[in-house]
Structure 1
Amino acid sequence: MIIILLLRTLLLVAVAFLIYTAYKFYINPQRKLDIAHDKKEFYFYDDPENTKQNFFITYKGLMFEGEKYLGATEDAFEVLTINISTQQPENLKGFERNDLYFIEEQVLMSYPYAKIEWKYPISRLNIRSINDEDENGLY
């Protein structure tokens, strides 16, 4: 009788553990990033609380990595510089300025004080920073 009760308890714990593991797998942001990359959709994977951890963006099948650098503003310490690069520069064919501006807008929503710097070969494209406005107030 005690053995049956113990086995039922162990079975219940095992089922609860499987459900918990499946839930953690389903909500894993790295898995969501991989799925969006495969589908060539936009996904921004970041831990805004950890300024030492890089963020990843997938857009149109390209994976970008952003390095965050902390600095001081008048009121607080914020991420002030972000370097964005890609591991697959050969896949940049067909990428346009507007695509890069879209990525900048998404990053600036999370880090409004940041200055975004693109690494080679993206930096070779004449990109005007989204924070810079021309004399008419337009981008």
Structure 2
Amino acid sequence: MVVLLFRLLILIAFILVVYTIIQYFRNPGRKLQIAKAANTFYMVDDQGNSKKNIQFVYKGCLFEGEKYIGATEEAFEVVDIHIFARDTDELEGITRDDLYFIEKELLMRYPYAAITWKYPINKLVLTTIE
């Protein structure tokens, strides 16, 4: 009886370890940090939840976007997204074309959204191209 109980406890512990490993590799925050280290684009977004912010990495800079819902002609959709950089020191090397790429990626997911950049990014977007 004791041996059977011990085997059951070992089986439960093994299942718990496997579950923990799977959750570790599926963690979106971990994937975000890997993309940041690799200087690639990666977005964490729950399109079904308008209260959850968008997080994305581009060229080693971590951005966050606040979604606001509003009425369109057909339904209630995300109509406004305010984007800011978590650490403004990471913005070094980000160009206007990079911001246009980010806007394009966001507009593919939220076609009715108006994208607003927060300080200091809005200074780059508002300056005229010479």
Give 1:93's aligned residue. 92
Q: Secondary structure at the match of 1:126?
A: helix
1:1-139 to structure 2, matched below 5 A, reads 2-126=1-125
| Structure 1, gaps ≥5 residues long | 129-139
**Superposition RMSD on alpha carbons, in Å?**
1.4
Q: Which amino acid aligns with 1:75?
A: E
> Does the 8 Å CA contact 1:56/1:64 hold for their aligned counterparts?
yes
User: Deviations along 1:62-121, whole A, 9 cap, x unmatched?
Assistant: 011101000011111100000111122233232111100111111112111101011111
Task: Count matched residues.
Answer: 127
Q: Calculate the TM-score normalised by the size of structure 2.
A: 0.92
Displaced runs of 4+ in structure 1, greater than 6 A?
Answer: none
For residue 127 of structure 1, report the CA deviation from its aligned partner. Answer: 5.1
Q: Which amino acid aligns with 2:23?
A: K
| Structure 2, gaps ≥5 residues long | none
Q: Secondary structure at the match of 2:65?
A: strand
**Most deviating of 44-53 and 90-99:** 90-99
Relative to its length, the structure with more helix (as a share) is: 2
